[in-house]
Amino acid sequence: MNSLQALVFDVDGTLADTESAHLAAFNHAFAEQGLDWHWDEAMYTRLLEISGGKERMTHYWKQVHPDMKDIDGSGLTDTIDHLHALKTAAYENAVQNGAVALRPGVLSLIQSAHQQGLRLAIATTTSPVNIAVLLRNAIGPDWKDLFVVIEDASTAPKKKPHPQVYVQTLARLGLPSSACMAIEDSANGLRAAVAAGLQTIITPNQFTAHHDFTGALKVVPDLADVHVEQLRAWHQH
């Protein structure tokens, strides 16, 4: 077993409880477009089983409104792209106004891991703008200095549970999976990380607490009591 050399973080639901802000942003976009769509928390919890905002909207459109015609004569893809742009703008505005904070223990673990020489990476299916606005507000303008690799929806189009984002992250880190550990919050994230050979710590949230986390190394409520030494011990166990 290699010693622990890198931590790979998911973003939405893992670094921060972002899903409520995402849900509000989706509904804002639907209203702005004049659609009668409205996702409540229960529906959104189900839709989160589909990774990716555009994929989520496409699934909903096809499942719930199969007979709905394209809006303004534009194709489904164009409409989804437009809705996603409206949603992203609404989410970015919400984050800048303080709607989202990092989950307990996240910032201290990132900082201590960085100080102790662990390499830090991000492996997410969210868009680059969502990552940037969240971490710029939570950590500061130099947030990118903490992460040596960032893989996201723009670089890994195959969404979790497909392991592409983790495989690419490991390749860019230049490390074997046995030297790294993933931190996730969902079953899809866990499946993606495990498929890439990563030991995975799960920190569930209100939207993922019901998921099946079979195969996780550990499931903890949050990272408040998780320290680098503990991660090293779990990794070697």
Residues with a catalytic annotation lie at 10, 12
Half-sphere exposure for 162 (CA within 13 Å, toward CB): 13
Contact indicator for 216, 201 with CB cutoff of 8 Å = yes
Q: What whole-number distance in Å separates Cα of residue 55 and Cα of residue 208?
A: 18
Query: Exposed, middle or buried: residue 62 (CB in 10 Å: 0-12, 13-18, 19+)?
Result: exposed
Cβ contacts of 164 within 8 Å, gap of 6 or more: 156, 157, 158, 192
Nearest residue to 53 via CA among 27, 14, 72? 27
Other Cβ atoms within 10 Å of 36 Cβ, number: 7
